[in-house]
Amino acid sequence: MNTAEKFLRYVKVHSASVDRDDITPTSAVQFDLARLLEKEMRDMGMEKVVCDEHAYVYGYIPATKGYENRPSIGFIAHLDTIPDFSGENVNPQIVENYAGGDVKLGDSGRVLSPEKYPHLKELVGHTLITTDGSTVLGADDKAGVAAIMAACEKIIKEEIPHGRIAVCFTPDEEVGHGAALLDIEAFGADFAYTVDGGELNEVNCETFNAAAAEWEIKGLSVHPGDAKNTMINASLVAMEINSMLPAGDIPAHTEGYEGFYHLTDMQGDVEQAKLSYIVRDHDGAKLEMRKDTLRHIEELINEKYGAGTAKLSLRDQYRNMFEKVNERPEIIELAEKALRALGMEPERKPIRGGTDGAQLSFRGLLCPNLGTGGYAGHGPYEHTTVENLDTAAKLVLEIIQLNCMG
């Protein structure tokens, strides 16, 4: 089974996580893909394969005789898809020998267009894999899962020399919990790579510093006819809080190393309201300044409307992994050497988000990210190509082989 065949098999399995933090996995459906992978890993000949009680799937390939002293490399991908847009009943469309131009996404009324996605011009001649417009595709990150599985299968079947290889597929990455329960000691890798999205030539060793901000606003409801100087409309206070943030510091107006405040959810009426934000910046000091801005707004609102009107809760989520990964530049250089061997010029690019690798790097397992050649994740326009999936698998394989050369 080639990489694309594996991918198409995996995306058919509903495995969306749920936005909660009191249980792992956050959804029972993640076990469906976890157990499928567990069986496939055993069938291909991996050792010590286990799907644990939290839907983490582990498997290992012992070093070839004579290569036991080479570093043990880990490869990690997540098996969940986003909770915010359907990953159920995925019906991929295959467009062979893409000729360019618009691609109609089933009967959804949506169109995948080079006008909105200019990179499509570079995919002419590829075999496109798209959604039918009603679900995500699941390339984030089942493309990474397929790439790792295809590379491992080739290593075993063709008896390609290698050092020890450790594999883990994690749940709940999309809701920020994917690395929390990974057993690093049992995993036993000297370093690892997540294989999780981005351009194929990217090596990601920088992430955002990340925090979550939750606002609870209490209003005072009275009859509108008698409301003057008395009513406090919680929904209007929530709008006022948002208006006090820099209007340009939102995802739609930022790129590269620019941080943002992202309003992800709001609800309310006159008596109470809630706002949820994620706050991001690659610079740790700047993230602290953003958090201080939110605290200052809380003070101003409570001075204006009375103590207890607004309650801000801040929670740190993850930190920029560069400060850890940069301690061992040879890990990044190995991936870059592999990319060059495959005819690509590597590009170090910051992730405008986070990966399991960010948390793992701070837990002691240094873990940059490799691209998979997936595009437009987290929505109905998500797509990839058969060729990109094959190249992602070749990249994993090339890293394994180069590791044997010392």
Which distant-in-sequence residues (6+ apart) come within 8 Å of 188 by Cβ? 60, 72, 164, 166
* H or E stretch covering 170: strand 165-170
The number of C-alpha atoms within 13 Å of 276 and in the hemisphere containing its C-beta is 5
- Tell me 283's DSSP state: S
| Residue count of the chain | 406
List beta partners, residue 272.
Answer: 218
Residue 151 token pair: 């590379």
Q: Which residues are catalytic?
A: 80, 173
Residue 260 token pair: 């943002």
The number of C-alpha atoms within 13 Å of 201 and in the hemisphere containing its C-beta is 8
- d(C-alpha 105, C-alpha 101), whole Å: 13
List beta partners, residue 111.
Answer: 104
> In angstroms, how far is the first alpha carbon of the chain from the final one?
31
Nearest by Cα to 128 from 96, 103, 92, 90: 96
Residue 133 token pair: 């417009």
Torsion of CA 338, 341, 346, 348, to 10 degrees: 20
* H or E stretch covering 184: helix 184-187
CB 203 within 8 A of CB 332: yes
What are the helix (H) ranges across 195-352?
A: 234-243, 284-305, 322-325, 329-341
B/e letters for 103-124, b = 16+ CB within 10 Å, e = fewer, are: bbbeeeebebebeeeeebeebe
